[in-house]
Amino acid sequence: MSTSIIAGSSGLIGKNILQQLCAQKSDVIALSRRPVANLPRNANELIIDFDSFLEDGLLPKCDNIFICLGTTIKIAGSQENFRKVDFEYCLSIAKKAKESGAQTLSLVSSIGANSSSKNFYLKTKGELEEAIQDLGFLTVNIFRPSFLVGERSEKRMAEKVAIKFAKIIDPFLIGSASKYRSVNAELLAKTMISTKNSKPGVNYYFFDDLLR
């Protein structure tokens, strides 16, 4: 049985992947900075200090790594702190997973990610995508969702408004614009799990690629 590590297992996407993999009785390690609430019985937990981990951390042997770690500039408090989480932490985890035997990496990125973008958020996401592709994984699956919808542990008023707006605007986003539709976190997690044994190389996934 293959072993999967989930980085960001307490977040919106990570917790959905964790629950679904455990429901399949897969071998799962939840990587987090604090204990994961409602951790499934058959999941293992690895709690780390990310700053120390950058220096000398090691990951257990694994076959797949799911990187769902991320924050917002508002929560991080600065662009520097945001980049530390969304680039440095994620890249470090990817490197250590590769050293531990992982052949497949699945990354939650963002629609519009581009290392040449003038938008700091999208530029950072694009730079991470490129850096991860240079690590030599057999398979790299990059998921570029738009606005994420699902049950978060924290309540955000702005997000509630955005969800209502998404319900109105989504039906009008058709054809090439469909990739900007809001994305259900549970469906995204389901798709990420289904593609962990996908073809070698770099594979991109958008809204239209989600399993229904």
Alpha-helical runs (H) found in 57-208: 73-76, 79-83, 90-99, 120-133, 157-169, 185-194
Distance of alpha carbon 24 from the chain centroid: 20
Question: What single-letter DSSP state applies at residue 44?
Answer: E
| Catalytic member of 15, 96, 98, 125 | 125
Task: Identify the bridge partners of residue 205 per DSSP, sorted by sequence position.
Answer: 143
For the question of residue 95 being annotated catalytic, the response is no
HSE-CB at 189 with a 13 A cutoff on CA atoms is 23
Query: Which string of b and e fits 8-28 if b means at least 16 CB within 10 Å?
Result: bbbbbbbbbbbbbbbeeebbb
Rounded to 5 degrees, what angle do the CA atoms 154, 69, 63 make? Answer: 135
For the question of residue 204 being annotated catalytic, the response is no
Both tokens assigned to 165: 């707006």
| Catalytic member of 84, 95, 121, 123 | 121
- The SS3 of residue 94 is helix
- Using an 8 Å Cβ cutoff, are 171 and 137 in contact? no
From CA 212, how far away is CA 204, in angstroms rounded? 18
Other CB atoms within 10 A of residue 148 CB: 20
**Which of the residues are catalytic?**
121, 125
